[in-house]
Amino acid sequence: MTTGLDFIGDVHGCRSELLQLLQRLEYKKTRPDRRKLVFIGDLTDRGPDSVGVIEDVAALVAQDKAYYIPGNHCDKLYRYFLGRPVQIRHGLETTVAELAALSRSSYDRTRQTFMRLFENAPLYLPLYNGEVIAAHAGIRRKDIGASGKAVREFVLYGDVDREQQQPGKLPKRRDWVLQEKNQRDAPWIVYGHTPVRKPRVYRRTINIDTGCVFGGALTAFRYPELTTVDVPSRQAEQPEKFRVFEPDEPLDSYR
Q: Least separation, in Å, of the C-beta of 184 and Mn ion?
A: 30
* Residues near 198 by beta carbon (within 8 Å), at least 6 away in sequence: 210
Check binding of 75 to Mn ion (CB under 5 A).
Answer: no
Taking CB under 5 A as the rule, does residue 72 contact Mn ion? yes
**Nearest residue (CB) to Mn ion, 65 versus 193:** 193
User: Can you tell me which of 9, 13, 71, 91 binds Mn ion, judged by CB under 5 A?
Assistant: 71
| Distance of closest approach, residue 140 Cβ to Mn ion, in angstroms | 17
Residue 12 engages Mn ion in binding (rule: CB under 5 A): no
Check: CB of residue 189 under 8 Å from CB of residue 133.
Answer: yes
Nearer to Mn ion, 99 or 213 (CB): 213
Peptide bond into 232 cis (omega under 30): no
Dihedral angle, C-alpha 56, 210, 36, 1, nearest 10 °: -150
Of these, 15, 193, 203, 204, which contacts Mn ion (CB under 5 A)? 193
Nearest CA to 102 out of 114, 90, 116 is that of 114
Nearer to Mn ion, 27 or 211 (CB): 211
Q: State the Cα–Cα distance between residues 213 and 241, nearest whole angstrom.
A: 10
* Closer Cβ to Mn ion, 9 or 52, answer by number: 9
Closest residue to Mn ion, Cβ-based? 193
Q: In terms of CB distance, is 72 or 228 closer to Mn ion?
A: 72
Site track 138-177 with Mn ion (rule: CB under 5 A), x = hit: ----------------------------------------
DSSP string, 13-65: T-HHHHHHHHHHTT-SSS-GGGEEEEE-S--SSSSS-HHHHHHHHHHHHHTTS
Residue among 159, 189, 157 at smallest CA distance from 174: 159
The whole-angstrom separation of Cα 27 and Cα 20 is 10
210 is a contact residue toward Mn ion (CB under 5 A): no
Q: Which residues bind Mn ion (CB under 5 A)?
A: 42, 71-72, 193
